[in-house]
A = this chain, B = another copy of it.
Amino acid sequence: MININIEFIKQLSRPTPSKIVLLVIDGLGGLPDTQSGKTELETANTPNLDALASKSICGLSETISPGITPGSAPGHLVLFGYDPVTFRIGRGALEAMGIDYPLQPGDIAARGNFCTVDNNEIITDRRAGRISIEQSGKLCRLLDNLTIDGVRVFSLPVKDHRMALVLHGEGLSPDISDSDPQQTEMVPLKVKANSKTAERTADIVNKFLIRAKDILAEYYPANMLLLRGFDEKPHFPSMSEVYKLKPAAIASYPMYRGLARAVGMDILNTGSSIEDEIETLKHNYNNYDYFFIHIKETDAMGEDGDFEAKVKAIEHVDKIIPDITALKPNVIVVTGDHSTPALIKGHSWHPVPLLLYSEWCRPDKVKQFSESACISGGLGRMPAIDIMPLAMANALKLNKYGA
Contact = CB atoms under 8 A, between A and B. Distances in A.
A16 to B, nearest CB: 14
A64 B360 contact: no
Nearest to A8: B85
Interface stretch (A116-124, A152-160, A190-198, A375-383): A375-383
A349 B88 CA distance: 29
A68 B389 contact: yes
A349 to B, nearest CB: 4
A390 B68 CA distance: 8
A343 to B, nearest CB: 8
Given A229-B403, A402-B71, A2 B385 contact: yes
Main secondary structure of the interface of A (DSSP, over half): loop
B398 A1 contact: no
Contacts of A4: 1, 64-65, 68, 85
Interface stretch (A72-80, A139-147, A264-272, A314-322): A72-80
A363 B84 contact: no
Contacts of A60: 378
A73 B39 CA distance: 40
Interface stretch (A204-212, A232-240, A291-299, A364-372): A364-372
A47 interface: no
Interface in A301-358: 341, 343-344, 346-350
Contact of A2 (B85, B229, B403): B85
Given A66-B389, A403-B229, A378 B378 contact: no
Protomer copies: 2
Count class of interface residues, chain A: 35 or more
Contacts of A181: none
Contact of A390 (B78, B349, B401): B349
A362 interface: yes
Contacts of A389: 65-68
A106 interface: no
Given A364-B375, A389-B66, A389-B67, A403 B94 contact: yes
A90 B389 CA distance: 24
In the A-B complex, list the 10 residue pairs whose CB atoms are closest, starting with the nearest.
Answer: A67-B389, A71-B402, A67-B393, A66-B386, A67-B390, A74-B402, A91-B403, A380-B381, A349-B393, A4-B65
Given A1-B1, A350-B362, 17 more contacts: A1-B4, A2-B64, A3-B85, A64-B401, A67-B390, A67-B391, A67-B392, A70-B401, A71-B401, A73-B402, A74-B401, A88-B402, A90-B403, A91-B403, A341-B360, A347-B400, A376-B376
Interface of A: 1-4, 8, 12, 31-32, 39, 60, 64-75, 78, 83-85, 88-91, 94, 229, 341, 343-344, 346-350, 360, 362-365, 371-372, 375-383, 385-394, 398-403
26 contacts: A1-B1, A1-B65, A1-B385, A2-B383, A3-B3, A4-B64, A65-B386, A66-B390, A67-B386, A67-B388, A67-B392, A67-B398, A68-B389, A68-B393, A68-B401, A69-B398, A70-B400, A71-B403, A72-B402, A73-B403, A229-B403, A346-B400, A349-B390, A362-B371, A378-B381, A380-B380
